[in-house]
Amino acid sequence: MSFINYLSREINCKIVYYGPGLCGKTTNLQYIYNKTNPEAKGKMISLATETERTLFFDFLPLALGEIRGFKTRFHLYTVPGQVFYDASRKLILKGVDGVVFVVDSQIARMEANIESMENLQSNLVEQGYSLDKVPYVVQYNKRDMPAVASIEELRAELNPDGVPEFPAVATTGEGVFETLKAVAKLVLTELKRGGR
């Protein structure tokens, strides 16, 4: 649910990074935070455990520039990836405008990816959304790891509908901004269509 303020001429949108535990959602946000001009970003907040596992969410407010005199602001959130935090994930999906599904490319994590994707679908349905309606992109992260599945294999399992997809190495930033731009663009296009 985007928030349009005609007085301050601002469009605010919410993007959620989803995916299995340790797939690199927080790392995506950290990279964006480190590479963004100070005036375009707010503070990054991580509600994490002592071992840096996300407990509730990470949050990063970001200004992307102006469209027709409207400032566009994106609020980026991550969900906690660990299976048992499902109640928290549902809360964070409320009011979402766009979703990035971060895939852990390692062969050993294929099952975790599929489980998380199914979880995303059912949680969206519970909130009254559906994955084929919400602006949505897929990122194949950790392409630098030794035992990774091929993009074709990952696509067959996790992106059968062929939404925009990006190979990435979030630790070095490869593919991170490409992913963000793609989802932001889809969100704005959806807004333009007035499809909500």
Partner 1 sequence: MASPQMVMYEREFHQVQAVVDHLVRAANAQVVFIIDKNGQLIAAAGETGQLDTTSLASLTAGNIAATGGIAKLLRENEFSTQFHEGERSNIHIQLVGKRVILVVIFDNKTSLGLVRLRVKKASEQLDSIFEALAVKAETSHQSGAFAEITDDDIDKLFND
Give contact residues for partner 1 (rule: CB under 8 A). Answer: 1-7, 12, 14, 42-43, 45, 47, 56-57, 59, 61, 64-68, 70, 72, 75, 87-88, 90-92, 94-95, 127-129, 133, 181, 184-185, 188-189, 191-192, 194-196
Rounded least distance, CB 49 to partner 1, Å: 16
Q: Give the C-alpha distances (Å, rounded to integers) separating 146 from 19, 89, 142.
A: 20, 30, 9
CB of 117 to partner 1, least distance (A): 20
Residue with tokens 């906690």: 80
Q: Among residues 3 and 83, whose Cβ is nearest to partner 1?
A: 3
- With a CB cutoff of 8 Å and minimum separation 6, the contacts of 153 are none
Tell me the longest C-alpha to C-alpha distance in the chain.
52
7 by Cβ neighbours in 10 Å (0-12 / 13-18 / 19+) ranks as exposed
Say which DSSP state 96 is in: -
Task: Please say which residue, 86 or 111, places its beta carbon nearer to partner 1.
Answer: 86
Q: Where are the alpha helices (DSSP H) in the chain?
A: 25-35, 86-93, 110-126, 151-158, 176-193
Closest approach of partner 1 to the CB of residue 149, in Å: 29
Q: How far is the CB of 45 from partner 1 (least distance, A)?
A: 6
> Which residue, 127 or 171, has its beta carbon nearer to partner 1?
127
| Residue 15 near residue 93, CB atoms below 8 Å | no
CB of 161 to partner 1, least distance (A): 19
Task: State which residue, 43 or 52, has the beta carbon closest to partner 1.
Answer: 43
Q: Which is nearer to partner 1, 73 or 142 (CB)?
A: 73
